[in-house]
Amino acid sequence: MARRLPGEDGPNAMSHAHSGRNSHAVGKKRGQRIGVLVGMILALIAAAMYIGMMGQSGGDFRGDGNGNTVLAEIKPGSTLSEVGPSLVEKGVVSSNEAFQSAAATTPKAADIKPGFYKLQEKMSAQSAVEAFLNPENKVDLLKVPTGATLMDSKVVGGDTRFGIYSLVSSITCSVGDSCLSAEEIANVAATADPVSLGVPEWALEPVQKASGDPKRLEGLIEPGEYVVDPEASAEETLTQLISASAESFANTGIVDRAAAINLSPYELLTAASLVEREAPAGEFDKVARVILNRLAKPMRLEFDSTVNYGLDEQEVATTDEDRARETPWNTYAKDGLPATPIASPSIEAVTAMENPAPGNWLFFVTVDKDGTTVFNDTFEQHMADTQKAAESGVLDSNR
């Protein structure tokens, strides 16, 4: 009978075989668990590092920003929610979704007005919405008053009336380091291609003739409020203002209306600037008629406002010496209209020139401090009313 070798067969042999397989399976499972655990830990570490680098918590930045100012624009006709993607692009908020959620849960968000706002990089979505609601973060509108001039002007007594170039400069200097001086803006106005600036076709010839003169754009910027990008170039801002004004003038029918009163559109704009500076409220169309009647006679306009435009210091009543000075604008010393507008006329002044009141008036004078203005046909009547004005203190009889 053959002998069985030890470990070759029998119960003991089977027992050893099963024990080896079980140990291998248990070790394999433990290795798998350890591998999964290590993978999870590494994933958590990576996520934590990402959140730390981005300053995020739940897909949103934390806090009120990092101190770096960023301009954000809400365009006319748009809503706050529409600015979300641009805020993500500028690094203001982490995600459009977070910003949309914050805007949707802030009731006053619907009241935010168009304009430019100063925000910061890496703001939480809620902080960004609240920044839009804070009026201190809104960039001021450019406010061009009626009768404004392009250049600064001084009035007797030392006060300075800031011109449009200075007003634009103050807007650009309100944010960041992209500050434009009034001189830089004036230089662009004097030298840039008028066509590229948006000067209307009917004003191109006189503007081109005055190349190099920063006053050559006088009258072409309509008074009003403008949303101006503080970071835009001088040429971009001037183009925006002039183009918008040209469209507004066109909407009054300035080309056809000018022809109806035997003026060119540029002459009409120039006459409207005189109306703006000379006429009291409610009398624009009457002063427009006086201008047209004098031009038709022909008769010099003799407006003090045209004398003042060429002076270093301005005042209501000019002197005999000032009135004798020959300048391109002084209508005491020259026939016809000034060479250019002397101020920015309102649309009200433009439409008054387009639709002058009927009448034969050649003279007008304000006779009291309440603003009562008298219109006359004859020089004798005018002199009598001028005496009343002197007696009431409106005019200085010694000037």
Residue 152's contacts (CB-CB under 8 Å, 6 or more residues apart) are 160, 161, 162, 163, 165, 166, 182
Q: Name the pLDDT band for 14 (thresholds 50, 70, 90).
A: very low
Residue 44 class from Cβ within 10 Å (0-12 exposed, 13-18 middle, 19+ buried)?
exposed
Residues 284, 215 within the same domain: yes
The per-residue pLDDT for range 264-302, each reduced to its tens digit, is: 999 999 999 999 999 998 999 999 999 999 999 999 999
Residue 160 within a domain = yes
Q: Name the pLDDT band for 56 (thresholds 50, 70, 90).
A: very low
Residue 5 within a domain = no
Residue 47 within a domain = no
92 is in which domain, residue-wise?
A: 69-138
Could you give the 3-state DSSP secondary structure of residue 313? Answer: strand
Residues 134, 228 within the same domain: no
C-alpha closest to that of 239 among 274, 198, 203, 280: 198
- Of 140 and 40, the one with more pLDDT: 140
Residues 101, 218 within the same domain: no
Determine the pLDDT at residue 57. Answer: 44
Residue 4 within a domain = no
C-alpha closest to that of 103 among 119, 121, 138, 79: 79
Q: Name the pLDDT band for 41 (thresholds 50, 70, 90).
A: low
Residues 284, 219 within the same domain: yes
Mean pLDDT in residue range 168-185: 90
Mean pLDDT in residue range 146-163: 88
Mean pLDDT in residue range 27-46: 51
Structure tokens at 31: 């290795």
Residues pairing with 117 in the sheet: 72, 138
Residue 86 within a domain = yes
Residues 353, 385 within the same domain: no
Number of structural domains found in the chain? 3
Kindly list the distances between the CA atom of residue 41 and the CA atoms of 37, 49, 58, in Å, as whole numbers in the listed order. 6, 12, 19
Residues 169, 75 within the same domain: no
- CA 153/CA 237 separation, integer angstroms: 22
Residues 299, 170 within the same domain: yes
Determine the pLDDT at residue 52. Answer: 43
Determine the pLDDT at residue 32. Answer: 53
Domain termination site, one of 138, 168, 185: 138
* CATH (domain of 125): 3.30.1490.480
Determine the pLDDT at residue 81. Answer: 80
Residue 52 within a domain = no
Residues 180, 327 within the same domain: yes
Determine the pLDDT at residue 339. Answer: 95
Residue 108 within a domain = yes
Residues 105, 164 within the same domain: no
pLDDT at 144 over 80: yes
Least confident piece of the model among 127-136, 237-246, 313-322, 379-388: 313-322
Q: Name the pLDDT band for 34 (thresholds 50, 70, 90).
A: low
Determine the pLDDT at residue 154. Answer: 86
Asked if 329 and 306 touch (Cβ cutoff 8 Å), the reply is: yes
Residue 389 within a domain = yes
Residues 269, 351 within the same domain: yes
pLDDT at 16 over 60: no
Residues 275, 375 within the same domain: no
Residues 197, 342 within the same domain: yes
pTM value is 0.79
Determine the pLDDT at residue 77. Answer: 83
